[in-house]
Structure 1
Amino acid sequence: MNPALGLLVFLGTLLYAYAEALVKLLLPAKRKAVRGELVLVTGAARGLGRATAREFARRQSRLVLWDVEAHGLKETATECEGLGATVHTFVVDCSKREEIYSAAEKVKKDIGDVSILVNNAGVITAADLLSTQDHQIEKMFEVNILAHIWTTRAFLPTMMKNNHGHIVTVASAAGQFVTSFMVAYCASKFAAVGFHKALTEELSSLGKDGIKTTCLCPVFMNTGFVKNPSTRLGKILEVDEVVKALMEGILTNQKMVFVPPQLSFALLSEMLIPERASNVLKKLTDVKFDAVVGHGSNQ
């Protein structure tokens, strides 16, 4: 294409995209139905995973719940069954590829085709890089990103065959913004966000427009994973408000869900504001939490 013509096409597309975004902002979004869909949620024993499972149960989805914690998994299943959902549970250690593939085969053989995959399982160690143990770093990458890849590879072929499905990546604001004393965790969550974006692009290139993707990036949640978090940015999020935003994103096929929504503007400002001013702004936010600092390398 002629460069001048290409520029005109780009500008025309840009104006159309802005107009389309404005219309979507003013009009109520169309929500899809998930009744009867087979939904698999990893890390479903507590926290966001349990709350997400409950939301799908309320919408009469069929549920497959995975977690390494058997007792919490059973409690989640009981709650979801009380809401009228059909529930199947599997004790799975998402840090182990073999367990993921084995459980996936059982799901496909005994239950059916997963059409909505919620990759929620996650682990965190709050410590400076040298105090974070090798096995803790490995675990964060195994659960926070590699597990996403293994589960997606297990269930994506059928979604592609049917050109129908939804893959949800539960990441974090730490996958968009760096935080001291969470180097390995931030790295794993940046990888999760990158996985979501690259997978979204690949599905588009393959013409699989019936498979949707959503990535969730919340700030600190009141789940107990991080001890005593605080920030001047606002209150620590409750799980229910985060899962409400996530479900809205899934039902309306949003690609990125920031909680709170202002995070998207913060991401833009980080790219536009000079580094010196950005550093001052970060200090003003005063993000704090309990972390192990200064204990030296511990392998």
Structure 2
Amino acid sequence: MIEREIIHTTTASKRIFDVLQDFVQFLLLFLRIFLEMFVMLIQKVLPKSLKDISGEVVLITGTGHGIGRELALHYASLGSTVVCVDINEKNNLQTVQKAKRLNLGDVHSFICDVSKREEVQALADRVKTEVGPISVLVNNVGIMPTHPILQQSAEEIQRVFDVNVFSQFWTIQAFLSHMEEKNRGHIIALSSIAGVVGLSNLVPYCATKFAVRGLMEALHEELREGPYKNMIKTTTIFPYMTNTGLCKHPKVKFPSILGLLDPKEVAMRIVEAHRSDTLEATIPSCLLHINNWTRLLPDHCGLMLKDYIDSGVESDLI
């Protein structure tokens, strides 16, 4: 009887201790969150501190035109060694020639279909031999068929996933070892505002861009918990519609506020996000905050706001 009372008392004491311990941990968590929010507020007011990237070896996919080309030029202008990768040899060489005229960072051209895993593995070996291990990977390449889901062929859907999603898996797997060798690195992925909000005529494209967001969030967590914590960083970018030719029939209700973005401006913002170690960024920056707050409202409120903005793409089959 006495032994049972002792066991009961011991069990009750342990439960009380566990509850108090959980409560203290919660208070510490709340305090840490409050301090982090305070620090972020101060950082918003103070000028951004941008790290020097002149010694980095930056590999960019899809450098033949558009944002990829502007990224190559911008990184080269900052003194980085730039590895330009594209499936179109002629366009890629034009980018390299433009970048070399800057007479700053070294620039290299490699031809590869990054949707094919074997080609990406071979590319990683060639780059390591001819240039050296890379320290920054920018997954920029993407395609965007724009018509209703029932008019999307099986081949189109497969291709958009191969290029927009699986290519990022293949490059991360192939080049992560380069960064591990250097004990530092940065992986930058281009999602899209279509990876934050679903849009008509873009069902497969939106699915791929939402997938990129999930891929990068999980990758960041894996790197954060693994042996390379704080050594290999990630950044996910969600640009609004950009004037690269990818949006064949853009629909814009307020062109003075939400008109098509300039690829040069987008590239500059991407590099800025890289240099400030930003985890996620929309371009313009306000769109991520608008989306986050809208998701807290009832569903119909978000739909009313979307209808009011009325931006997206028309079918390219019209």
- Class of the TM-score when normalised by the shorter of the 2 chains: over 0.9
* 1:25, distance to aligned residue in structure 2 (A): 1.1
| Aligned equivalent of 1:137 | 157
Normalised to the residue count of structure 2, the TM-score between the two structures is: 0.89
Matches of 1:169 and 1:104 in 2, distance apart?
A: 18
| Aligned equivalent of 2:81 | 62
1:197 aligns with 2:217: yes
Matches of 2:154 and 2:82 in 1, distance apart?
A: 35
Normalised to the residue count of structure 1, the TM-score between the two structures is: 0.94
* 1:290, distance to aligned residue in structure 2 (A): 2.9
| Aligned equivalent of 2:231 | 210
Q: Is the 8 A contact 1:181 1:293 kept in 2?
A: no
| 1:170-210 per-position Cα deviation (integer Å, ceiling 9, x unaligned) | 11001111001111000000011111111111111014212
Q: Secondary structure at the match of 2:165?
A: helix
Ranges in structure 2 where 5+ consecutive residues have no aligned partner:
1-17
Select 1:231's aligned residue among 252, 255, 264. Answer: 252
* 1:232, distance to aligned residue in structure 2 (A): 2.9
Q: Secondary structure at the match of 1:215?
A: strand
Matches of 2:137 and 2:281 in 1, distance apart?
A: 16
Identity of paired residues, percent? 32
Matches of 2:269 and 2:281 in 1, distance apart?
A: 7
Matches of 2:221 and 2:303 in 1, distance apart?
A: 32
Matches of 2:54 and 2:273 in 1, distance apart?
A: 16
Select 1:220's aligned residue among 223, 233, 241. Answer: 241
Using the TM superposition, name which of 196-205 and 30-39 deviates more: 30-39
Q: Secondary structure at the match of 1:90?
A: strand
1:93 aligns with 2:117: no
Matches of 1:10 and 1:207 in 2, distance apart?
A: 24
| 1:13-72 per-position Cα deviation (integer Å, ceiling 9, x unaligned) | 111111111121122222111113111010000000000000011011111111011111
The AA in structure 1 aligned to 2:281 is V
Select 1:21's aligned residue among 40, 62, 66. Answer: 40
| Aligned equivalent of 2:97 | 78
Select 1:280's aligned residue among 289, 297, 304. Answer: 304
Q: Is the 8 A contact 2:85 2:110 kept in 1?
A: yes
| 1:71-112 per-position Cα deviation (integer Å, ceiling 9, x unaligned) | 110100000110123221111112211111111111112220
| Aligned equivalent of 1:179 | 199
Select 1:257's aligned residue among 276, 281, 285. Answer: 281
Q: Is the 8 A contact 2:183 2:231 kept in 1?
A: yes
Q: Secondary structure at the match of 1:113?
A: coil
Matches of 1:271 and 1:187 in 2, distance apart?
A: 18
Matches of 1:22 and 1:286 in 2, distance apart?
A: 32
Select 2:169's aligned residue among 149, 166, 169. Answer: 149
> CA separation of 1:13/1:185 partners in 2, compared to 1, >3 Å: closer, same or farther?
same
Q: Which has the larger radius of gyration?
A: 2
| 1:131-183 per-position Cα deviation (integer Å, ceiling 9, x unaligned) | 11111111111111111111111111231243201111011001111001111
Poorly superposed stretches of 4+, deviation over 6 Å: none
Ranges in structure 1 where 5+ consecutive residues have no aligned partner:
295-299
| Aligned equivalent of 2:54 | 35
* 1:289, distance to aligned residue in structure 2 (A): 2.5
Matches of 2:35 and 2:310 in 1, distance apart?
A: 40
| 1:264-297 per-position Cα deviation (integer Å, ceiling 9, x unaligned) | 1222123111112221111111124231579xxx
* Aligned positions, number: 294
